[in-house]
Amino acid sequence: MPAATVQGVSDDDQPTTGAPAPEAEPDPAAEVVEPALADTEVRDALPDDLDISEFVGPYVFPNNNRRRVPGYLYLFIGVACLLAWVLLGRDGDAVLVNGGFLAAGIGLVLIGGFHLVAGWNLDVDERDALVAATERVGFPVGHASAQLGWRGLRSRPTWRILLYSAENPPTRRGLVLVDGVDGEIVSWFTEDNPEDWSDLDGELARAGATGGTSEAAAGVEPGADG
């Protein structure tokens, strides 16, 4: 008996049994919806340069004498411009070499000379400056911080040291300027601490229990008078 077929449907269109239908591939352009996070699951993260767990050693201030490197480059280019003007553009016959080479050469030589003059060697680091400042203020130092600045037309490097006394909370504070070349005290003053730290008493107590970082950075024993 011949097999019956459905009119209008060919053998190729009839569904086959035994082989599963292929799965549709995901659309890469489809937007991925992430589940919303609760407020208790959101955590702040520090940038890499502020992550204390990645701390590998004390910060080293770059030496001020690196200014001499661009100074030598300016001098070299300036002298080359002057030589080009003397050899080629002095008579005015050259097309590409003109009075601009003379002006540029003089300017670059002056700038290069200033870089060499201002390229002081930083012989006194922040630890030496903190020790010198502690000896000057005359009271036991607790927390302290150092900042490198420059003074005068020749940009002489100078440490700015802010110090607090070792009491909790501090009763005295001072500011000392220490020369970064020879370690001399440029200027200094001390005063009674006008800041109100009463709302930080608990945090200061915990910081004292774990050990202060300022005294270790200064190379001074906590509570020791310079």
Q: Tell me the C-alpha distance between 97 and 89, whole Å.
A: 5
- The predicted-structure confidence for 66-89, as pLDDT tens digits, reads as follows 999 999 999 999 999 999 988 887
Banded model confidence at residue 106, pLDDT cuts 50, 70, 90: very high
Q: In the chain, how many H helices and how many E strands?
A: 5, 4
Which residue in 223, 132, 129, 128 sits closest to 170, CA to CA?
223
Tally the domains of the chain: 2
Comparison of pLDDT for 211 and 143, the residue scoring more? 143
Examine the pLDDT at 111 and tell me if it is beyond 60: yes
Q: Which residues contact 4 (CB under 8 A, 6 or more apart)?
A: none
Lowest model confidence (mean pLDDT) among 39-48, 96-105, 116-125: 39-48
Q: Are residues 135 and 110 in the same domain?
A: no
Q: Confirm if 135 and 156 have CB atoms less than 8 A apart.
A: no
**Residue 155 domain flag:** yes
- State the residue range of the domain holding 91: 64-118
Q: Are residues 130 and 213 in the same domain?
A: yes
**Residue 27 domain flag:** no
Q: Are residues 89 and 147 in the same domain?
A: no
Q: Centre a 10 Å sphere on the Cβ of residue 85 and count the other Cβ atoms it contains.
A: 21
Q: Are residues 142 and 187 in the same domain?
A: yes
* Pairing of the two strands 141-151 and 185-192: unpaired
Cis peptide before 169 (omega within 30 of 0): yes
Q: Confirm if 102 and 81 have CB atoms less than 8 A apart.
A: yes
Q: Name the DSSP letter for residue 196.
A: -
CATH of the domain at 180: 3.10.450.40
**Residue 188 domain flag:** yes
Q: Are residues 84 and 165 in the same domain?
A: no
- The predicted-structure confidence for 144-187, as pLDDT tens digits, reads as follows 888 888 998 889 999 999 999 988 888 899 999 999 999 899 99
Q: Which residues contact 157 (CB under 8 A, 6 or more apart)?
A: 64, 120, 122, 148, 149, 150, 179, 180, 181
pLDDT of residue 79: 95
